Structure 1
Amino acid sequence: MNNYKSHPEPSNMLPAGIPYIVGNEAAERFSYYGMRAILMIYMTQYLVNSSGQLAVMSENEAQGYFHLFVSAVYFMPLFGALLADGLFGKYRTILLLSLIYCLGHFTLALDNTRMGLLLGQSLIAIGSGGIKPCVSAQIGDQFGLNNQHLMTKVYSWFYIAINVGAFAAMLIIPWLLKHSGPAIAFAVPGLLMLLATVLLWLGRHHYTHKPPAGMKFIKEMCSQIGLKRLAKLASIYGFFTVFWALFDQTGSSWIIQAQKMDRMLWGIELLPSQIQAANPLLIMLLVPLFSYLIYPLLNRCFVLTAISKMQLGLFLTVIAFAIPSIIQMQLDEGFIPSILWQLLAYVLLTSAEVMVSITCLEFSYTQAPATMKSFVMAFYFLSVALGNLFTSAVNFLIHNIDGSSKLAGADYYWFFTGLMLITAALFLWVSQRYHETDND
């Protein structure tokens, strides 16, 4: 019988399990974003058939499959949440799915065919997606009434840990792919995921292990109150579908665009996949800037709530995506813009991410009933899945048989920019009628 504590200690200090959770997240995010960073280049330049001959995908095909994979990753949190809240608890669920996650990475490293890609990504989707709501909710479980005031800052630093891992991975793994090939490039993220699993296990006696609710979870989820709470959150989360439809294109259409731009920066030519590293780097800079400067300044002008942060973030996304739209107009006319213009778009898009995504992590936990923390986190991640599914569908639908596109060039980017503007305006109207729930 394991002597795990089931309630937070009455302390006003940082919970002892937090460093293990944050370290686990940094290593896990390295593994995920390192693998994801090279997918577009891998599928269009390195994929082989069973005979070992090149059998790569077209750009449109690869972009469609990229977003299908991301969509699968973010659908799986529902599965992980059911396991965590209904059966095994968060720690055991994370540990089990982390092992499956490791297998996915090593499958990609050992098999560079489409079959290997399918199997590896399926295992990674189960592992990575399944643990997502559990890790986020596990942070909240570590806090009691005496140290609950530290939760906001811990969620911010948790998000920074995500981006430390992502930043390192997005610089290193594309370089490994180019210089050492896909086997090494996929094996290294696998080793980091193995490290993440070990860190999780080492901290097991420091965590607060809230037991799974079992049938109580199912009953509460299906109760009138539970369904009403989910419906209420759905009225907010639905708008984030479009945000993620745009945001995750930094891993697909923005890479394709970067291939055609002048990528010389301080005398170094960056690889197209490495440009993505701007996002995690900016997160590490912008999170403290927003927490300690921008939010306090805005709060002097008006009452800054979670809802108002997300409102501002969605409108900022419109401006951010207008920049690659303009860049593409320049490319269509034969000009070769500097990658600095895309980096400017990253600054604005990452600022929007801080206001939307970080805010929503904490918002989701505070709005969730006590027995449905992981499930509500998964419910939020469903918006990411649907956003990527939408982008994937758009890419497949606009692709003509002759290889041309129904939304060619800048029209593609302006389509998403306009869609985001409409979404932000609608969210502004709907969110004004949302009243936050007090779970205390």
Structure 2
Amino acid sequence: MRRYRSFPLPGPGLPPGLPYIIGNEAAERFSYYGMRAILVVYMTQYLMDAAGRPDTMSETQAQAYFHLFVSATYFTPLLGALLADGFLGKYRTIILLSLVYCAGHLALAMDDTRSGILVGQALIAFGAGGIKPCVSSHVGDQFSVHNRHLLERVYGWFYLAINLGALVSMLVTPWLLVRFGAAVAFGVPGVLMAVATTLFWLGRWQFAHVPPAGLGVLREALQARELSRLGQLVVLYGLIAIFWSLFDQTGSSWVLQAAKLDREIAGHEILPSQIQAANPLLILLLVPLFGRVVYPALERWMSLTSLRKIGLGMALAAASFAVVAMIQNAVDHGARPSIAWQLLAYLLLTSAEVMVSVTGLEFAYTQAPLTMKSLVMAFYMASVALGNVFTSGINFLISTPDGGSRLAGAAYFWFFCVLMAVTVLVFAAYARRYRAGSYLQPDRADA
């Protein structure tokens, strides 16, 4: 059997396996965000029972189940990380769980009942979630101390690939749902996931592969020094979780709000689910803008550390929810504001995402000890899960027996706005005491 290389190739250039990773990520993100974009609409308008009768959910129930699914997708990275770092290695874990991921799309496409959505979402949560920490840390594994200066740029490309796939899928999949029905709308993302898996398999001999550490990864995690490092990161990630409790509502409460707005743009009425495409489109524009203009401008006023970027981004997230709260206040009093106001909120929230998520990916990788890259990435992603569990719990808590809400209208959005503002203050206080480290793979000659 042909052996994999254990460490990145020496030299200052770009890794040879990078095109396969970027292509895989673009196709996989199409599959995930396309499926996710239509979930709330599907649950409130398309679900059937076994006899073929409508069996839809209320808006509050759909929001709760949507965030429960997202939280599951971001908790399972812990399992994927243990498989990758401890036993199978990243490449084999990604291939195996990608097949599970494809099966989840198939279940959604073939069964439009609550049982079908339960099975499909469970498989996707395990597959998509399990590969998340492996793919992002696999990118970092392609680098060493000699080409580390390219790591930030490549993580930017990686994030652009994510959002290019998301942009196309968020425009196409809602249209497929309306035009051809749920089977096609869920089936097309399944095909793209199969393409993503194939692309990753084709690049197998171009990748640098860091061998799994076996049970040693758990022993290392239990050492006092590493427990201390993980403990500091867990506190940070717990605070960042509140950001994700707001951000992922673009797929739930913001979609439901969009249905109540004037959605005509340039003489064409867009679907409520399609407005989510504003986020990846803005990412494509804002990532280079922040790198070349915004960050250099801010550097003239302050030392712009990773944690300061994240804190500023969290403040922008609070501002975005203030905007949607004001939009909802107008809706609550008989008005029908233009969707352009929600686009302003998307601009603020996407700017926040650039500062929190792009920075957070690189920060999580560099803070992780060498044999625990996937595990620390999984803890970072667990913050997304925790935020969505919180949002799901709030929606279950405020749901009334008749399908209504105890925290209705603008009050719902103001609650999250204030929560985020308070979290920013706590985060800023904690970040001042955090001591950052840096762990990167050595070259073969340095090992």
TM-score band by shorter chain is: over 0.9
Number of equivalenced pairs: 440
How far the C-alpha of 1:133 sits from its partner, in A, is: 0.2
Alignment of 1:170-185 (within 5 A): 170-185=170-185
| Aligned mates of 1:296, 1:409 — CA distance in 2 | 40
Q: Which amino acid aligns with 2:172?
A: I
| Aligned mates of 2:356, 2:240 — CA distance in 1 | 8
| Aligned mates of 1:36, 1:412 — CA distance in 2 | 22
Q: Which amino acid aligns with 1:96?
A: L
Question: Is the 2:58–2:403 Cα contact (8 Å) retained in structure 1?
Answer: no
Pair 1:28-2:28 in alignment:
yes
State the partner residue of 1:383: 383
Question: TM-score normalized by structure 1?
Answer: 0.99
| Aligned mates of 1:269, 1:21 — CA distance in 2 | 36
| Aligned mates of 1:162, 1:97 — CA distance in 2 | 19
| Aligned mates of 1:114, 1:429 — CA distance in 2 | 45
| Aligned mates of 2:419, 2:130 — CA distance in 1 | 30
Question: Is the 2:245–2:391 Cα contact (8 Å) retained in structure 1?
Answer: yes
| Aligned mates of 1:219, 1:3 — CA distance in 2 | 27
Tell me the SS of whatever aligns to 1:188.
helix
Tell me the SS of whatever aligns to 1:389.
helix
How far the C-alpha of 1:280 sits from its partner, in A, is: 0.3
Pair 1:215-2:215 in alignment:
yes
Pair 1:91-2:91 in alignment:
yes
State the partner residue of 2:443: none
Give per-residue Cα distances to partners, 1:225-271, cap 9 Å, x unaligned: 22111101012111111100000000000001000000001111000
How far the C-alpha of 1:2 sits from its partner, in A, is: 2.5
Listed as ranges, the gaps of 5+ residues in structure 2 are: 441-447
| Aligned mates of 2:406, 2:115 — CA distance in 1 | 30
Question: Is the 2:98–2:131 Cα contact (8 Å) retained in structure 1?
Answer: yes
How far the C-alpha of 1:53 sits from its partner, in A, is: 1.4
How far the C-alpha of 1:123 sits from its partner, in A, is: 0.3
State the partner residue of 2:119: 119
| Aligned mates of 1:123, 1:439 — CA distance in 2 | 33
Q: Which moved more, 1:350-359 or 1:428-437?
A: 428-437
Listed as ranges, the gaps of 5+ residues in structure 1 are: none
State the partner residue of 2:55: 55
How far the C-alpha of 1:221 sits from its partner, in A, is: 1.1
How far the C-alpha of 1:216 sits from its partner, in A, is: 1.5
How far the C-alpha of 1:359 sits from its partner, in A, is: 0.4
Q: Which amino acid aligns with 1:246?
A: L
State the partner residue of 2:38: 38
State the partner residue of 1:286: 286
Give per-residue Cα distances to partners, 1:56-106, cap 9 Å, x unaligned: 111111111000000000000000000000000000000000000000001
How far the C-alpha of 1:406 sits from its partner, in A, is: 1.4
| Aligned mates of 1:61, 1:320 — CA distance in 2 | 24
Question: Is the 2:318–2:417 Cα contact (8 Å) retained in structure 1?
Answer: yes
Tell me the SS of whatever aligns to 2:262.
coil
State the partner residue of 1:424: 424
Tell me the SS of whatever aligns to 1:301.
coil
| Aligned mates of 1:206, 1:339 — CA distance in 2 | 46
| Aligned mates of 1:438, 1:20 — CA distance in 2 | 27
How far the C-alpha of 1:429 sits from its partner, in A, is: 1.0
| Aligned mates of 2:173, 2:394 — CA distance in 1 | 29
Q: Which moved more, 1:188-197 or 1:311-320?
A: 311-320
Pair 1:337-2:337 in alignment:
yes
Give per-residue Cα distances to partners, 1:125-184, cap 9 Å, x unaligned: 000000000000000000122211100000011000000000000000000000000000
State the partner residue of 2:155: 155
State the partner residue of 1:200: 200
State the partner residue of 2:233: 233
Q: Which amino acid aligns with 1:308?
A: R
Structure 1 runs (4+) greater than 3 angstroms displaced: none
| Aligned mates of 1:249, 1:61 — CA distance in 2 | 14
How far the C-alpha of 1:6 sits from its partner, in A, is: 1.1
State the partner residue of 1:167: 167
Question: TM-score normalized by structure 2?
Answer: 0.97
| Aligned mates of 2:404, 2:258 — CA distance in 1 | 20
Q: Which moved more, 1:294-303 or 1:367-376?
A: 294-303
State the partner residue of 1:395: 395
State the partner residue of 1:353: 353
| Aligned mates of 2:282, 2:270 — CA distance in 1 | 17
Q: Which moved more, 1:278-287 or 1:395-404?
A: 395-404
Q: Which amino acid aligns with 1:385?
A: A
Q: Which moved more, 1:66-75 or 1:50-59?
A: 50-59
State the partner residue of 1:11: 11
Pair 1:319-2:319 in alignment:
yes
| Aligned mates of 1:64, 1:406 — CA distance in 2 | 14
Tell me the SS of whatever aligns to 2:336.
coil
State the partner residue of 1:254: 254
| Aligned mates of 2:222, 2:2 — CA distance in 1 | 31
Percentage of matched positions with identical amino acids: 60
State the partner residue of 1:242: 242
Q: Which amino acid aligns with 1:372?
A: M
State the partner residue of 1:264: 264
What RMSD, in angstroms, separates the aligned Cα atoms of the two structures?
0.8
| Aligned mates of 1:379, 1:64 — CA distance in 2 | 23
Pair 1:438-2:438 in alignment:
yes
Question: Is the 2:258–2:272 Cα contact (8 Å) retained in structure 1?
Answer: yes
| Aligned mates of 1:403, 1:8 — CA distance in 2 | 55
Question: Is the 2:25–2:161 Cα contact (8 Å) retained in structure 1?
Answer: yes
| Aligned mates of 1:39, 1:209 — CA distance in 2 | 36
State the partner residue of 2:136: 136
